[in-house]
Chain A
Amino acid sequence: MQEEHVVAEKVSPYNLKIPMGYTENELAQDLQNQEYKFGFTTNIESDQAPKGLNESIIRFISAKKEEPEWLLEFRLNAFKTWQLMSEPTWAHVHYSKPDFQDIIYYSAPKQKKKYESWDDVEPEMKETMKKLGISMEEQQRLTGTNIAVDFVMDSVSVATSFKEKLAELGIIFCSFSEAVKEYPELVKKYMGTVVPTTDNFYAALNSAVFTDGSFCYIPKGVKCPMELSTYFRINEGGTGQFERTLVVADQGAYVSYLEGCTAPQRDENQLHAAVVELIALDDAEIKYSTVQNWYPGDKDGKGGIFNFVTKRGLCEKNAKISWTQVETGSAVTWKYPSCILKGDHSIGEFYSVAVTNNYQQADTGTKMIHLGKNTKSTIISKGISAGKSHNSYRGLVQIHKNAQNARNFSQCDSLLMSDECGAHTFPYIECKNSSAKIEHEATTSKIGEDQIFYCLQRGISEEKAISLIVNGYCKEVLNQLPMEFAVEAQKLLAISLEGSVG
Chain B
Amino acid sequence: METTITQDIHRSKSLSDFIQKVELTNFQPLFSEQKRTNSFKLLSQLQFPTTKDEAWKYTRLGKISSGNYQLQEGTKESIISELIENLEGTILVFVNGKYAIELSKIHPEVGVSISPIHRVDKAWLEENTSIGKNQEELFLLLNDYFAQDGVAIEIEKNTQSTQTVQVLNYITENNSLVATRNAIVIKEGASIELVMSYYAENETSSFSSHITEITIENNANFTLHKIQNENSANLTIATEEIKQGKDSTITLHTYTLNGGLVRNNVYANVNGQNSESNLYGIYLLNEKQHVDNHTTIDHQVAHCLSNELYKGVLSDQSTGVFNGKVFVRKDAQKINAFQSNANVLLSDLASMNSKPELEIYADDVKCSHGSTTGQIDEEAIFYLRARGISEKNAKLLMIDAFIGEVIEKNTNSLVKDKIYSLLQNKQEQL
Residues of A within 8 A of B (CB): 90, 92, 399, 401, 414, 416-446
| A419/B374 contact (C-beta < 8 A), A425-B357, A425-B369, A444-B368 known | no
B360 touches A424 (CB 8 A): yes
Specify which chain A residues have a CB less than 8 angstroms from the CB of B346 in the assembled complex.
Answer: 434
The residue in B364, B365, B373 that gathers the most chain A C-beta atoms within 10 A of its C-beta is B373
Q: Looking across the interface, which residue of chain B has its beta carbon closest to that of A411?
A: B370
A438 touches B374 (CB 8 A): yes
Q: Which of B348, B365, B374 contacts A444 (CB 8 A)?
A: B365
A444 touches B358 (CB 8 A): yes
User: How many residue pairs bridge A and B at CB < 8 Å?
Assistant: 117
B365 touches A445 (CB 8 A): yes
Tell whether B429 is near chain A: CB-to-CB under 8 Å. Answer: no
Residues of B within 8 A of A (CB): 54, 330-331, 333, 343, 345-348, 350-375
Specify which chain A residues have a CB less than 8 angstroms from the CB of B351 in the assembled complex.
Answer: 430-432
A436 touches B358 (CB 8 A): no
A427 touches B356 (CB 8 A): yes
Q: Looking across the interface, which residue of chain A has its beta carbon closest to that of B358?
A: A425
A438 touches B372 (CB 8 A): yes
CA distance A433 to B374 in the complex (A): 9
Q: Looking across the interface, which residue of chain B has its beta carbon closest to that of A439?
A: B372
B360 touches A429 (CB 8 A): no
Closest 5 CB pairs of A and B: A416-B363, A434-B345, A429-B354, A432-B351, A441-B370
| A429/B368 contact (C-beta < 8 A), A434-B348, A436-B373, A436-B374 known | no
Q: Looking across the interface, which residue of chain B has its beta carbon closest to that of A437?
A: B374
Specify which chain B residues have a CB less than 8 angstroms from the CB of A427 in the assembled complex.
Answer: 354-357, 371
CA distance A445 to B338 in the complex (A): 12
Q: Which of B345, B356, B367, B368 contacts A433 (CB 8 A)?
A: B345
Given known contacts A419-B362, A444-B367, what 20 new A-B pairs fall within 8 Å (CB)?
A: A416-B363, A421-B361, A423-B360, A425-B357, A426-B357, A427-B356, A427-B357, A429-B353, A429-B373, A431-B353, A432-B351, A434-B345, A434-B348, A435-B375, A439-B374, A440-B371, A443-B366, A443-B368, A444-B368, A445-B367
Kindly provide the distance from the CB of A363 to the nearest chain B CB, expressed in whole angstroms. 12
A438 touches B373 (CB 8 A): yes
| A422/B361 contact (C-beta < 8 A), A434-B375, A443-B367 known | yes
| A428/B348 contact (C-beta < 8 A), A437-B373, A443-B368, A445-B367 known | no
Specify which chain B residues have a CB less than 8 angstroms from the CB of A428 in the assembled complex.
Answer: 353-355
Specify which chain A residues have a CB less than 8 angstroms from the CB of B371 in the assembled complex.
Answer: 427, 429, 438-441
Specify which chain B residues have a CB less than 8 angstroms from the CB of A90 in the assembled complex.
Answer: 54
Specify which chain B residues have a CB less than 8 angstroms from the CB of A425 in the assembled complex.
Answer: 356-358, 369
| A441/B369 contact (C-beta < 8 A), A416-B360, A425-B358, A446-B363 known | yes
CA distance A113 to B70 in the complex (A): 81
Specify which chain B residues have a CB less than 8 angstroms from the CB of A438 in the assembled complex.
Answer: 371-374
Specify which chain B residues have a CB less than 8 angstroms from the CB of A416 in the assembled complex.
Answer: 360, 362-363, 365
Specify which chain B residues have a CB less than 8 angstroms from the CB of A418 in the assembled complex.
Answer: 363
Q: Looking across the interface, which residue of chain A has its beta carbon closest to that of B331?
A: A419
Kindly provide the distance from the CB of A399 to the nearest chain B CB, expressed in whole angstroms. 8
Specify which chain B residues have a CB less than 8 angstroms from the CB of A424 in the assembled complex.
Answer: 357-360
- A and B contact pairs by CB, cutoff 8 A, 21 listed: A399-B373, A416-B360, A416-B363, A418-B363, A419-B330, A419-B363, A423-B358, A425-B358, A426-B357, A428-B354, A429-B353, A431-B354, A432-B351, A434-B350, A434-B375, A436-B374, A437-B373, A437-B375, A438-B372, A441-B371, A445-B365
